[in-house]
Amino acid sequence: MQQSILSWMKYGIPEPDSLVWGFLRLGGEHSDLSAQHGGNLYRLSAESGRPSGEIIDFSANINPLGPPEWLRPLISSQIHMLAHYPDPECTQLMEAAALRYKVSGDEILFGNGSSEIIHCLTRIIDAKRAVITTPSYSDYAQATRLAGLNVASSPLRRDRGFALDTGELETRLQDDEIVFIGQPNNPTGMIVETGLLRELAGRHPGTTFIIDEAFADFVSDMESIIVDRPVNVVVLCSLTKFYAIPGLRLGCAIGEADLVQRAKRNLPPWSVNTLAQAVGTIALADRDYAIRTRELVDAGRNRLMNELGNIPGLDVYEGKANFLLVRINRGDFDAHELARRLIKEGIAIRVCDNFEGLDNRFFRVAVRTEAENALLIRSMRTVMGVPAHNVPQRKKPAIMFQGTSSNAGKSVLTAGLCRVLLQDGYHVAPFKAQNMSLNSYVTHDNGEMGRAQVVQAQACRIDPDTRMNPVLIKPNSDTNSQIIIRGKPEGNMDFGAYTKHKAAIFEEVKKSYDSLASEYDVLVLEGAGSPGEVNLKSRDIVNMNMARYAQAPVLLVGDIDRGGVYASYVGTMEVLSEWERAQIAGFIVNRFRGTASLLEDAHDYILRHTGRPVIGVVPYLRDLGLPEEDSVSFKAGVFDKSNPEGEYVDIALVDLPHISNFTDFDSLRVEPDVRLRIIRTPSELGTPNAVIIPGSKNVLGDMLYLQKTGLHDKLMDLAKTGEVEIVGVCGGYQILGRDISDPYCIESTGQTLPALGLLPVSTVLAPEKKLACVSARHLPTGARLNGYEIHHGVTVHGEAVPYIEKENGEQIGSSLKNGLIWGTYLHGVFDADEFRRWFIDKLRVRRGLDPIGHVCAVYDIEPALDRLANVVRESMDLNKIYRIMGLC
C-alpha cells in the first residue's frame, strides 16, 4: 500500500484505496471519522503496525456481503456526469424512494449521510430539549447540544438486556422535546415492537420522535414505522450502511411535508452528489440484494452469538441487527486489553466505554463473513487463553494463479511456484477445481485427471491424485462434454445440465480441497479462463469462489506477448465485484521479451488505477520442455518443431478437431533428429517418413473430418507406397481399423462408420470407460513401456499381428506383418527413451540414413521444472508472495 500511496503522491493525487474504499472501510456509525466511532483503520493500522488491508474490521457495522455487483459499472457509467452539477431536487432518487417506501415525494428528505440530516433536524424542530435513550449512537447528543438544546437521558437497563421500556421512557416526556430511538438501537441491537412506538407517539403529539432505522434493513421481518407513520414521527434511513458504501454519503429521512420542506431550505445546495444519487436510485430497487443480505446476516449473527456465548467470561446480548454487544465478566482484563491483544492478530473490535451507560467491559463486533467470524472466534479464544471448542480451523496457506484469459501461462507458473516451494522445504500440492481439457492422465488408482495437474504434482515430487483436479470436463462436441468427477466419468452433459448440478459439484470440489489440504503444508491453486467472464461468474466454482473458499490470495496473470495486457488487467478488475477485487493481491506480467525496467511507467499506472502492484515480470520461455495443459498452444502451432540441423526424419502429426492427449508426442520434440509437423490439410501432409493419428474425444466425428477434408484419401495413398509408417494412438488406433460402431450412442445416434481399413481390427464403443495405468512390452524388441489407457472402445484385433501387450498378456496394440502400420491404446508409448530411439532409427534407415543405435535424448521434465523454478525466483517477488500467503 505504501508503494501505491507514493505512486499517487507523485501526481499530487490521493491513493485510490484511501480516496474511495478507505472511506468505505472507515464508515462507522454514520461514518463519523472521529476517534469515538468504529472503523478508523488508519488509526488501527498505526497502532497495530499492520497495513490497513491486513486488518479485519469488526468495529464498523457494514454489510458483510459487500457492495452490490452493479456498483462499479454504474459509477463508471456516471463519471461523465461529474462535469455537471448534481440534480438539486434528486428527482430520480426521490421517485425511487417514493416507490420503495410507498410515500409521497414531498415527505422525503435526502442528505449527505444521516448525520447531516440529524444535525439539520435538531436545528429546525421547535423543541426545548431532547430525550435520548442510552446507550445509543453518540451523534444524537452531539447534534442536539450543537443546536443549543438540553439533553436528558433515558437509560436502558442492563438487567433487562438493554430492551427499551416505552412506559419508563414515557415518564420522562413533557411534549416539548425531540426523542431519539434507534430501531434497532446501536450499540445494543435491540428493537421495540413498532406498535408500541406508534401508540407512544399518539399519546404525545407535542413531541417529535426521530426513529433511526439505519440498521432496520438488516433485520428480517421487522415492521418499519414508515408504514402508518404518525405525523410527529421522522424516520431515518441510512442507505450506505446496508449497501456497504458509506463513503458515498447518502442518508434519507421521511416525515411530514412541511417539516421536510423546512429541512431542505436549511441544507446546503447540492448536498447529495451525482454518484450518490445514481447509486441510491438503483439501490432502492434492488430487492434481491436485500434478501441475500438478511439471509447472510441472520445466519452469521446466530452462529457468532452462539460461538461468543461459548467462551467463558463473555455475556452476549441478543441483538437483532448486524452487530452484537458483548460484556466481559473477567477481572484479569477489560475490553481495551482485549482490543489491544486482538489488533496484534489483525482484528479490530469496537470498545464501547464512550457510550453513555457502558463501561470498559463492553465491546461490539459486527457480523462479517463466515470465514472472518470464525477467525474472530479463534483469535478471541487464543488471546483470552480459552481452549478451542469446535471452532473451524484456519485454512492452510495458499495462493491462486488466475488469468486475464485462457492460455495466459497459469499452469506453467503454478508448476514453477510449486517447485520453488518444494525447494524451500514446504510440503506442497497443486489444485485446480475444474479443468476443461482433452489432455488427461490416469492415476495409479485408475482415476482420470487433467494432465497439467500431473505436471504440477511432479513439480511437487508427489504422486498425481484426482483430488488435485476433482472436476475434468472433456468436450466431445460443440455442445456436449463428458464430466469426470474425482476421476470417474459421470456421463455426458450439455451446459444447461451441468449448470443444474454446479452446486452439488462444488460441494465435491470443496471436499476434495479440504482432504488434500489436510495432508499438505501449502497449496498452489490454478484458476480457469478468466475471472472476468461475466456470463459465468455467478456459477463459478474454479476462480473467485474457489479462491474465497480456500482463503487464497490471487495473482492475476496476463500474457504481454499477445498485446493489451495492461488494459486486460484494468478491464478484469473493473468487472469484478468488490469482494472479488479484494482477493486480487497483484499482477504477473508473463511472456515478456525485453528489459523489464521499460515497464515501470505502465506498472505505476496499474498501481494507481487498481491499487494493486505488479509482483513479477516473467520472460518469454522458449522450448521449456513441459507438456501443454490443453490444445490452445497446439492449435496455434506452438507444438511444431522446426527443421533440425543435419540429418533428420520427418513425422507428421494429424490435428484432429477433437484431438486428445496430444502430449503423447512431446517426447518426439526432444529428439535432435526429428522434425515434427502439425498438419490439417492434404497439401500440408506431403510425403513424411511417418504419420501419427492421435487420440480423439469424438472418433466418429473426426473420421468424418478426415473424409471431408481429403486427408482420408491422402493417407490411403501414402499407405500404398509402402514407404511411410502410419501410427495410431488410442482413437487413432480405432481410425486405422476397418469400422467403428456406436450402438450405445456414446458419440453419435448409433452409427457404424467405415474407418481407414489399414488394420484388420474393428471397434465397438462401449458405455464403460477403460481407465488403467499400464506396464507393457513392445513385442518386436522386448522394450518395456509404461503409460495408461483412457478409452470407451473395445477392439477386436482379428488377424492383426500382436504388437504391444500388457504384463498379463492382454493385447493392447496391433500391426501389419511388415510393421509399417500399427496402433495401440497405450498413451505415453513414445515416452520410453529406448523404444523411441528404435522407432526413429527405423525411420532413418527407411530414409537412407544410418541408424544412431543409442539413446540421444532423455525425456525427463525434471530439469525443465528446475529451470522454471529458477526463472520464477529471478522474475517474481517471492518475499512479497510469501508474505501474502502468510508464510513469513
Catalytic residue IDs: 730, 827
Half-sphere exposure of 741 (CA within 13 A, CB side): 10
Cα gap 758→703, rounded to integer Å: 13
Nearest of 366, 43, 377, 368 to residue 186 by alpha carbon: 366
Cα gap 13→26, rounded to integer Å: 19
Largest CA distance in the chain: 114
Cα gap 546→401, rounded to integer Å: 12
- Residue 174's contacts (CB-CB under 8 Å, 6 or more residues apart) are 129
The answer to whether the beta carbons of residues 813 and 797 sit under 8 Å apart is no
Ranges of beta strands (E only) in 522-564 are 522-526, 554-559
Sequence letter at residue 817? K
The answer to whether the beta carbons of residues 611 and 584 sit under 8 Å apart is no
Look up residue 827 and give its DSSP letter: B
Cα gap 228→396, rounded to integer Å: 53
DSSP three-state, residue 756:
coil
Look up residue 391 and give its DSSP letter: P
Look up residue 876 and give its DSSP letter: B
Kind plus residue range of the DSSP H or E element containing 387: none
Long-range contacts of 510-513 (CB under 8 A, 24+ apart): 510/549, 512/431, 512/466, 512/467, 512/470, 512/486, 513/431, 513/433, 513/467, 513/470, 513/546, 513/549, 513/550
- State in Å, rounded, how far the first CA of the chain is from the last one: 18
Q: Which residues pair with 480 in a beta bridge?
A: 494
Tell me whether the omega of the peptide bond preceding residue 135 falls within 30 degrees of 0, making it cis.
yes
Look up residue 18 and give its DSSP letter: I
Instruction: State the pairing for strand pair 739-741/762-778.
Output: parallel
Ranges of beta strands (E only) in 413-565 are 428-431, 434-436, 440-442, 448-450, 471-475, 480-485, 488-494, 522-526, 554-559
For cell 510393421, what's the residue?
Answer: 819
Tell me whether the omega of the peptide bond preceding residue 657 falls within 30 degrees of 0, making it cis.
no
Cα gap 696→690, rounded to integer Å: 19
Structure-block grid coordinates of residue 866: 528446475
The answer to whether the beta carbons of residues 401 and 382 sit under 8 Å apart is no
Instruction: State the pairing for strand pair 129-134/177-182.
Output: parallel
Structure-block grid coordinates of residue 744: 450405445
Residues in the chain, how many?
888
Tell me whether the omega of the peptide bond preceding residue 268 falls within 30 degrees of 0, making it cis.
no
Cα gap 59→77, rounded to integer Å: 32
What is the DSSP annotation of 783-820? EEEEEEEEEEEEEE-TTPEEEEEETTS-EEEEE-TTSS
DSSP three-state, residue 35:
coil
User: Count of CB atoms within 10 A of residue 817's CB?
Assistant: 8
Q: Which residues pair with 132 in a beta bridge?
A: 153, 180
Kind plus residue range of the DSSP H or E element containing 619: strand 614-619
